[in-house]
């Protein structure tokens, strides 16, 4: 298609709409709603946005798979007959306290399945490499998606509760902390200014939300702290803290506070904006 066949008003409208935050998929839908054919719309949009048509089509496909989690609403949500109470909510950052996300039996069984496979926890450095880290002294392990019937059931429950496909989840991570062990304040999203950003987001894109599930109640300490708002969530068996963020949300800073007495077991589910499981 020749450039001169695109009317200047249309070109202006496309550019203005794209600048105001509409993605390739939205633009395509709007053009079709306005009566343009699918192929014709793709070609016009690719031309105005200065992209090869194939790259534009790939961007549409990607943006169609991009999603956000739904923040569970108070007072409770019933998922597959299982009641989850939403007992605290903040909006900046977005946090929901989820009581009864797991049953005591599920907590114990999950610990039992993870225990034989624990290893020193790793963190992801700025180059996307995994490494041991002084800031994170717990032992941990990862399940693969749907690895056991129990893991599958928990993943299904989270998926329904947050309205996001299971495929957007990273494998469930189990962590075990002993007295003195902690996870110092950090963000779960990947920093776009770091050199490893491309590598860690190549599959699944950015992280958009976390669910930290408490598998036991530590005798003392071991809550999850949100220092930007001065909030400490108590670690209590079966409950969970859900928090959602966009990259750069400084208020989502959080920490696994030191266990003072007893031990702490958690299961963490990190969610990505696009499918992570292929």
Ligand X SMILES: O=C(O)CCC(=O)C(=O)O
- How many C-beta atoms surround the C-beta of residue 235 within 10 A? 26
Size of the site for ligand X (CB under 6 A): 9
Span from 54-62, 88-96, 188-196, 217-225 in contact with Fe ion (CB under 5 A): 188-196
Nearer to ligand X, 31 or 266 (CB): 266
CA 62, distance to chain mean position in Å, is: 17
Nearer to ligand X, 159 or 224 (CB): 224
155 binds Fe ion (CB under 5 A): no
The nearest distance, CB 180 to ligand X, in angstroms, is 14
Identified binder of ligand X from the candidate list 266, 269, 271, 276, rule CB under 6 A? 266
183 binds ligand X (CB under 6 A): yes
From the list Fe ion, ligand X, none, partner contacted by residue 31 (C-beta under 5 to 8 A by kind): none
> Cα separation of 9 and 48, whole Å?
12
The nearest distance, CB 217 to ligand X, in angstroms, is 13
- How many C-beta atoms surround the C-beta of residue 81 within 10 A? 5
Identified binder of Fe ion from the candidate list 188, 211, 252, 270, rule CB under 5 A? 188
Nearer to Fe ion, 155 or 188 (CB): 188
Q: Which of 257, 252, 261, 263 is nearest to 222 (CA)?
A: 257
**Are 222 and 216 within 8 A, CB to CB?**
no
269 binds ligand X (CB under 6 A): no
From the list ligand X, Fe ion, none, partner contacted by residue 266 (C-beta under 5 to 8 A by kind): ligand X
Q: For the chain, how many helices (H) and strands (E)? A: 7, 17
224 binds ligand X (CB under 6 A): yes
Q: In what order do the strands lie in the sheet with 224-226?
A: 183-186, 254-256, 224-226, 231-233
Span from 13-21, 58-66, 94-102, 182-190 in contact with Fe ion (CB under 5 A): 182-190
The nearest distance, CB 218 to Fe ion, in angstroms, is 17
Please tell me the total number of residues recorded for the chain in this structure: 278
**Are 174 and 116 within 8 A, CB to CB?**
no
From the list ligand X, Fe ion, none, partner contacted by residue 274 (C-beta under 5 to 8 A by kind): none
Q: In what order do the strands lie in the sheet with 264-272?
A: 76-79, 82-91, 94-99, 240-244, 207-214, 264-272, 173-177, 139-142, 119-120
- What is the binding site for ligand X (CB under 6 A)? 183, 188, 210, 212, 224, 254, 256, 266, 268
């Amino acid at each position: 298609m020749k450039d001169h066949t695109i009317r200047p008003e249309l070109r202006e409208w496309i550019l203005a709409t794209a600048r105001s935050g509409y993605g390739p998929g939205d633009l395509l839908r709007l053009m079709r709603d306005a009566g343009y054919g699918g192929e014709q719309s793709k070609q016009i949009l690719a031309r105005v946005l200065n992209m090869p048509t194939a790259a534009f089509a790939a961007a549409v496909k990607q943006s169609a798979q991009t999603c956000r989690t739904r923040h569970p609403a108070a007072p409770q949500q019933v998922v597959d007959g299982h009641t989850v109470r939403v007992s605290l909510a903040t909006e900046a950052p977005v946090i929901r306290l989820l009581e009864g996300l797991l049953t005591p039996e599920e907590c114990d069984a999950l610990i039992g399945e993870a225990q034989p496979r624990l290893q020193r926890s790793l963190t992801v450095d700025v180059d996307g490499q995994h490494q041991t880290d002084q800031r994170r002294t717990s032992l941990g392990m990862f399940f693969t998606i749907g690895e056991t019937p129990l893991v599958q059931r928990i993943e299904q429950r989270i998926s329904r509760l947050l309205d996001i496909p299971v495929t957007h989840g990273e494998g469930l991570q189990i962590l075990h902390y002993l007295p003195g062990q902690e996870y110092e304040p950090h963000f779960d999203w990947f920093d776009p200014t770091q050199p490893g950003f491309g590598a860690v987001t190549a599959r699944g894109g950015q992280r958009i939300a976390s669910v930290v599930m408490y598998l036991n109640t530590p005798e003392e300490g071991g809550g999850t702290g949100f220092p930007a708002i001065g909030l400490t969530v108590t670690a209590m068996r079966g409950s969970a803290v859900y928090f959602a963020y966009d990259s750069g949300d400084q208020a989502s800073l959080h920490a696994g506070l030191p266990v003072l007495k007893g031990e702490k077991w958690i299961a963490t589910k990190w969610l990505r904006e696009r499918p992570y499981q292929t």
